[in-house]
Structure 1
């Protein structure tokens, strides 16, 4: 058994954790650059917590420029075991209405201007992202959201677009009608892939703020309505997070889905061919397998 440490990556509108004890903002150095912001740490109901505002306080990072590698690396260095990603999204489904939460279990990655891996020339690795989120963690988020009084959907496919512009009508129809996506956002990729490489359990909670432009009534929705929904979602998101420690517990067994051993057979480069400089940067992300010679 290991000690649970829940890491929450907050998206648009979610910038704090209610009730956090011994809370303090701290700098965490990463060889992958500076994280989006300082990380807020403390305890909640006896469980260690860490909170990182994905865009930085004041929303200073665009989706493309978020330092995804530094963020995941910094959380791993702090001892985080379980990452909860919370983000705003648009909906392609009438039944996934503004104000609803969706527990994402699949992704379509349409981003193209971001570094998507900790590995590369000098240390090549291939992890499986066939099932990119942790079912155990997703179920805990589902139960916590339901306890918080949110209308929550247990499954959904998230289309990750590059941004920062929103979709054209043609794109929106393509994603909805032909690709089968359920929600759309700009930030869960490469975040989910990097969490898998770092052997962290990862769950994504998409908070619906609006219907994407496919919806015939989309043009009638005022920006103030979206902001009002975002504000309500943020309050509900904090209520969901507040219930997670009781559901996850202070101690955790190995992940039954293998998230914490994702690198077991992933590293392809022969030990004598590995780049020492890259290995030094991978000390937190892949130290378990590199120090033991696995992979």
Structure 2
């Protein structure tokens, strides 16, 4: 393939609009078209591929994002490491809107999504015990702390089907299970990267308290407007964190993730 990249980022045009010499390319895959064109740019000495997981016009709801095409396109470009920021809700009072969480576990509550590349005749059973790249997690935590961001160094994200938000009862159940963060896109994105031998880290930007917190009538249930508002208020912090991570990343690293 003519086009190549070292690092992938699932993020909208705000992540690369200020970079020079950005080239947008169309990539076809055996799993259909990715969410949108992929933007290729240089960050220092690294070639980076940016792809908005929902599409530039946010035309794909969480349950219809073409996850397999997105990940396969990154693999086709030669990407070996992916940074995946997400807007997420908090299930705990100590994890506040505006905080970042570097997740270390997920719980899948989705249904019907195409969530594996191993559909036969080749069948593999990979371990999902540690779904995220520990090396990239440590880099994200260190970089965030260096930038003065309130960043939580671990968290379990429960992934719901969407596009609706949780009921009060569902949210109460998720909290009672000890889960920390709620999101609609981490599955199967995370595990598809693992199947392809790509390092993957999620940085969850907390935008809300889901359906509210138990015993806190002053905290209203999440709504779309509030999510967008908090995300936009913190977008510059997300960009700064990701760009600094890219600068600190070793593009020639050999990681256990590459040998799943």
Pairwise same-fold verdict (TM > 0.5): yes
Indicate the structure (1 or 2) with the bigger Cα radius of gyration.
1
Deviations 1:192-226 (A, max 9, x none): 11000000001011110000114123328786544
Q: Which residue of 2 aligns with 1:268?
A: none
Q: Which residue of 2 aligns with 1:53?
A: 52
Q: Which residue of 1 aligns with 2:231?
A: 230
Supply the distance in 2 between the matched residues of 1:32 and 1:63 (Cα, whole angstroms).
17
Q: Are positions 1:130 and 2:139 aligned together?
A: no
- Matched-pair contact (CA < 8 Å) for 1:101–1:153: yes
Supply the distance in 2 between the matched residues of 1:7 and 1:214 (Cα, whole angstroms).
34
- Matched-pair contact (CA < 8 Å) for 1:18–1:238: no
SS in 1 for 2:187: coil
- Matched-pair contact (CA < 8 Å) for 2:212–2:220: no
SS in 1 for 2:220: helix
- Matched-pair contact (CA < 8 Å) for 1:113–1:162: no
Q: Which residue of 2 aligns with 1:243?
A: 244
Deviations 1:76-100 (A, max 9, x none): 1011110111110000111110001
Q: Which residue of 1 aligns with 2:192?
A: 194
Offset at residue 113 of structure 1 (A): 1.7
Deviations 1:231-262 (A, max 9, x none): 0222211111110122113x32310xx11011
Coordinate RMSD, CA, aligned? 1.9
Q: TM-score, normalised by structure 1?
A: 0.81
Q: TM-score, normalised by structure 2?
A: 0.92
**Change in 2 beyond 3 A, CA 1:21/1:79:** farther
Report matched runs for 1:141-290 at 5 Å: 141-177=140-176, 179-215=177-213, 216=216, 217-219=218-220, 225-249=226-250, 251-255=251-255, 258-262=256-260
- Matched-pair contact (CA < 8 Å) for 1:5–1:47: yes
Supply the distance in 2 between the matched residues of 1:202 and 1:221 (Cα, whole angstroms).
28
Runs of 5+ unmatched residues, structure 1: 263-295
